[in-house]
Amino acid sequence: MAGYKETPRQKMIGMMYLVLTALLALNVSVEILNAFLVVNESMETTNRTFNSKTTDYYNSFEQQYSIDPGKVGPYWEKAKLARKLSDDLKVYLNDAKFEAIARSERIPVDSAKVRPLYTIGTKDKYDETTVYFIGNSNDGSKGKAGEMRSRIAKYKQDLLNLVDTKDRAVIKVGLDLDGPFYDADHKKQNWEMHNFYHTILAADVTILNKLVAEVQNAELDVVTHLRSKIGATDFKIDQVGATVVPKSQYVFMGENYEAEVFVTAKDSKQSFTANIGGLRTSVDGVIKVTLPAASPGLKTVTGTVNYKKPDGSMESTPVKFEYIVAPPSLSVSATKMNVFYIGVDNPVSISAGGVSPDQIQPAISNGTIARNGAEWVVRPASVGKASVTVSAKLGDRMKNMGAVEYRVKTVPSPEAFIGGVSGGGVSKDVVLAQGAIIPRMPPDFEFNLNFVIVSFKFSGNRKGDIIDYAGNGNSLTAQMKDFIRGSRRGEKVILEDIFAKGPDGKTRKLNSIVLTLQ
């Protein structure tokens, strides 16, 4: 076979095989892409759950601080700093994620924040994100990844500085920046190149959510260590105080203020008495307080808790707390604009003062409203007006919080473009190169809608005769392109009767395009 010589045809076939192999290697399989989507969704859910549990841990830590500020104070201050450091880094990582999506999709960052990963069309692309993260450097040091590495390294050091030097060895900060990391050929890489070089957008988003999770783990490990340093034996029962735990310090007018007062140190065999807000009670361990909320404003309640000392003498400690009584309030705001549009998801944020988001139950008079994460999505049914009514679950009953009315409109029609213009002078080479009519939504319209050109008519003048061609879809036909090629400078062609189908399935007639060929 040493003397075998390929024919030109065989050489061509071999070249085509190599090109096909290269193209296949560049495509991410559907299975792998779906796996990233599943992992990312799970990671986002885990991050939300973990953040909620961490918040509960901080609340418990703060309650311990309120019991004994002298003992707990130094550790509580460090814990609050750990939270701030972690929150700042999580915001930075999330901002980088949304910027990457915005660059890849060529959309505003605000739009990227409300786009689920599975709806992103370029989730399997890496060109724009590689430029963003790696920049014009061979090792990623001049891109966003290099900046990110520096931020993470500083965060790790700042977090460890909250812990005594002798205890740092037991802290699991994670966020490994040093590796070793290897590529597919087992060649060493740095952190930036390993994570973000030629990494598809879906993987970039997943990696950034993973970094957020690692930040939360590092934060909780440090805060748990700080709290463990307090120790149960550090508390000396040399003073007795009282802690007021209200169900809410924000009370609607007409409702009752409810709270529980706990004795911070107590002999289980003794009872105590209290006089709070003029109400006298004698119970064993917990005082339940119910006070009226008849008028709005700041209410201050004082009283005393009486207990028996080890020597048998009686002692009392003062109790003072405040709560606010306010009339019912409601805030409903459209996330993108002050109207609802038919045929699209209209994001809406709803809040009612003093009411937890999970207690809010909205209804709409025109269309449907459903929860989507932290927001609500409105889909109106008909043009006119829509009233959003909000109720809140307070205890075992529902309370009407009020209603807000919005206008309902149809989405505006897009404008037809070809060769980057909607009319006027244009190079015929540009028109031929693009060869298709592109519908664009008005620049001040915030929703990213997809209209599809279904048909149009092409006409022009050739030697005094009007030539008409019909087109299906948005592409110029071969006859239309030949006509343009044969046109002289200054001659006009018209694209009219342009019809486009919107996301609601309805067809609209768009603007005509009159081109002067250059």
- What residues have CB less than 8 Å from 496, skipping those under 6 apart? 456, 457, 459, 512, 513
| 10 pLDDT higher than 60 | no
184 to 73, 187, 188, 189: CA distances (angstroms): 50, 7, 10, 10
Taking all residues of the chain, what is their mean pLDDT, rounded to a whole number? 81
Average pLDDT over residues 182-189: 83
Give the three-state DSSP class for 120. coil
Q: What is the pLDDT of residue 364?
A: 95
Give the model confidence (pLDDT) of 264-307 as tens digits: 555 555 556 777 766 666 655 566 677 777 665 567 788 887 76
Cα separation, 408 vs 341, whole angstroms: 6
Cα separation, 484 vs 473, whole angstroms: 19
Cα separation, 380 vs 386, whole angstroms: 7
Q: Which residue has the higher pLDDT, 126 or 20?
A: 126
Please report, rounded to a whole number, the percentage of residues in the chain having pLDDT higher than 90.
26
pLDDT band at 231 (very low <50, low <70, confident <90, very high): low
Give the model confidence (pLDDT) of 450-496 as tens digits: 899 999 999 999 888 899 999 999 999 999 999 999 999 999 999 99
| 389 pLDDT higher than 80 | yes
Q: What is the pLDDT of residue 4?
A: 43
Cα separation, 317 vs 305, whole angstroms: 5
DSSP, residue by residue, 153-211: HHHHHHHHTTS-GGGGGG-------S--EE-TTS-EE-HHHHHHTT--HHHHHHHHHHH
pTM here?
A: 0.42
pLDDT band at 1 (very low <50, low <70, confident <90, very high): very low
Most confident region among 25-29, 411-415, 502-506 by mean pLDDT: 411-415
Give the model confidence (pLDDT) of 336-368 as tens digits: 567 898 888 889 888 876 677 788 899 999 999
| Cβ proximity of 212 and 94 under 8 Å | yes
| 386 pLDDT higher than 80 | yes
| Cβ proximity of 190 and 153 under 8 Å | no
Q: What is the pLDDT of residue 269?
A: 53
Q: What is the pLDDT of residue 268?
A: 52
